[in-house]
Structure 1
């Protein structure tokens, strides 16, 4: 199960770097979150490779996939995931997205329902009431306009920002730094601090424009619209100590999904696949292998 080897697939708009463990089983695509990379799924092969072929890609500007010259908003990233699957020859697949990657996965499942068999949304929530939705929508429109004005200048700065990577690598390798950053997303630091150090280094090396586009795109109204049509059986996995995506937001998300199952992990933070790999992958495995799914229909959303 060599998940450390990086592979490269060239798409029409540029290369995508990914990791895989595949020998002919049904495929499961894995999409990392904001500021992350395919490395976030490094524990997954040990727990799921006996039932699924695993493909974990680095989104543009993250990990080893180069940033794109054009805009990479949520719709563009959903299209990229489909192009990636096409390039691998995957007609149908299960899909698991983490945080921002889960939001992209929603667009994939809604816009290409014939491609996604089962959907896992890890560490994702949404606005919990009408007031929060209004505030998020207003912020999105204002930030989206500002980004359109700043994008050309930020794109031109990319070569200069690349020169700072050695300094960022050194900065992120300092124990006080990587522990402080990791403490915002993890309930408990894993025993292997090298994993944390490398993860923080990748976070600090994320292309700034790509990261900004993801942050702005998180408020896109496209996600709420996609939930209205998404029909794939869905598992939502969140954690009770997730400071980034609180469990109350996950419940609000579940209420808007038609065919949904929920799982809440105890004493865990924003990266359950790393922090509690056994418990996390157990619930994912049960969902992917269940012959009949005990799902409930989401409640009617509050549209006031």
Structure 2
């Protein structure tokens, strides 16, 4: 690190995040921290999460107090070698604060916004993020799980978009997409994604699917192998393991925030990550016209009983390489015996994560996913 001063800043977790509340520091000024260490808990309007250290070295200053509400990009602290004198660090902090205040005042609110596309009989909403100055690798389409939407990738899409175009898609019945779902089974959802690829003229893509979206990704790789370069599943369905019916029942039956809490807490190994605003958003979505009917139809056709997708016997037939990521503490979908998976599947387990492993272990997950995709480019 030598004489470099590295700022620690309030992260931007998703397009909707504008500010974060500093909850708890896990390190003290003067501590030596390592890159990837969990250093401070931050809560946004969507989720509470822990920020990892961006670099290794002494934590020379903490400039944000617990309880402070700060905008995205604001300075939290600095990492610098002991060879950097205090006056230089103080000057760096003062300069950063001055520049940040000026840039914040001049910055507009414009940024990437969700778009819609007509895909056959469906209107599908998606968010595209891509490198600004180069084409990047093979594009990636991110497919959420049951009851989710494109915002489930708020910790993942922007980092992945540094290397390739990314499309976070709302499946039919979810998010901003069509709420009328004529074909709520796995093949129907899969064909909706194929129609999305056709509408945007995406000839070949990487598929990254979470939960039910993992089954959609695997099924698409079977149905249209020439369209799929690689598959990543995160706590994916389709591996023949059980889905916790309590999650589906609690989610479908929830009418108020306290009812939804029972379902949401099953998603995370650490239930403290569930925020009041997250629950409010989930309930607000369910109250939209057509949503409850769509979700019930999808649950019955895709996730419950004999309709639960079991692609185990065909996984070895998938031509595209597969990366399977699982949170070991998943309470929604039973983690498969990874040692028994076909040889074309590379597996990784996050010991301290649950069903939302891509959020709970976001930095590590992003690094593993991008490294895997770069191998396939």
**TM-score (normalizing by structure 1):** 0.72
**Cα-to-partner distance string for 1:22-62 (whole Å, 9 max, x where unaligned):** 24333100000011111101111332111121101111111
**For the residues of structure 2 that align with 1:197 and 1:279, how far apart are their CA atoms?**
29
Q: Does 1:262 align with 2:374?
A: no
**Cα-to-partner distance string for 1:176-206 (whole Å, 9 max, x where unaligned):** 4554332111112338653454245436758
**For the residues of structure 2 that align with 1:178 and 1:187, how far apart are their CA atoms?**
17
Q: Does 1:202 align with 2:260?
A: no
Given candidates 228, 240, 251, the residue that maps to 1:127 is: 240
Structure 2 SS opposite 1:290: helix
Structure 2 SS opposite 1:183: helix
Contact 1:3 1:19 in 2 (8 A): no
Given candidates 96, 99, 103, the residue that maps to 2:215 is: 103
Q: Does 1:182 align with 2:264?
A: yes
Unaligned runs of 5+ in 2: 1-11, 17-112, 244-253
Query: Does 1 or 2 have the higher relative contact order (CA < 8 Å, sep 6+)?
Result: 1
Structure 2 SS opposite 1:72: coil
Contact 1:117 1:232 in 2 (8 A): yes
- Correspondence for 2:183: 71
**For the residues of structure 2 that align with 1:250 and 1:121, how far apart are their CA atoms?**
15
**Cα-to-partner distance string for 1:87-114 (whole Å, 9 max, x where unaligned):** 1111111001111010011110011111
Q: Evaluate the alpha carbon distance shift between residue 204 and residue 241 of structure 1 in structure 2; reply closer, same or farther with a 3 A threshold.
A: farther
**For the residues of structure 1 that align with 2:278 and 2:181, how far apart are their CA atoms?**
30
Q: Evaluate the alpha carbon distance shift between residue 224 and residue 214 of structure 1 in structure 2; reply closer, same or farther with a 3 A threshold.
A: farther
Q: Evaluate the alpha carbon distance shift between residue 226 and residue 275 of structure 1 in structure 2; reply closer, same or farther with a 3 A threshold.
A: same
- Correspondence for 1:27: 139
Given candidates 235, 251, 272, the residue that maps to 2:323 is: 235
**For the residues of structure 2 that align with 1:200 and 1:11, how far apart are their CA atoms?**
28
1:256 Cα deviation after fit? 4.5
**For the residues of structure 1 that align with 2:302 and 2:371, how far apart are their CA atoms?**
32
- Correspondence for 2:47: none
- Correspondence for 2:116: 8
Q: Does 1:50 align with 2:162?
A: yes
**Cα-to-partner distance string for 1:123-145 (whole Å, 9 max, x where unaligned):** 025336xxx8xxx9xxxxxxxxx
1:66 Cα deviation after fit? 1.9
Q: Evaluate the alpha carbon distance shift between residue 226 and residue 77 of structure 1 in structure 2; reply closer, same or farther with a 3 A threshold.
A: farther
1:261 Cα deviation after fit? 0.5
Structure 1 SS opposite 2:147: coil
Q: Evaluate the alpha carbon distance shift between residue 6 and residue 279 of structure 1 in structure 2; reply closer, same or farther with a 3 A threshold.
A: same
**For the residues of structure 2 that align with 1:291 and 1:85, how far apart are their CA atoms?**
19
Contact 1:3 1:45 in 2 (8 A): no
1:242-257 residue pairs with structure 2 within 5 A? 242-247=330-335, 249=336, 251=338, 255-257=340-342
- Give the length in aligned residue pairs: 248
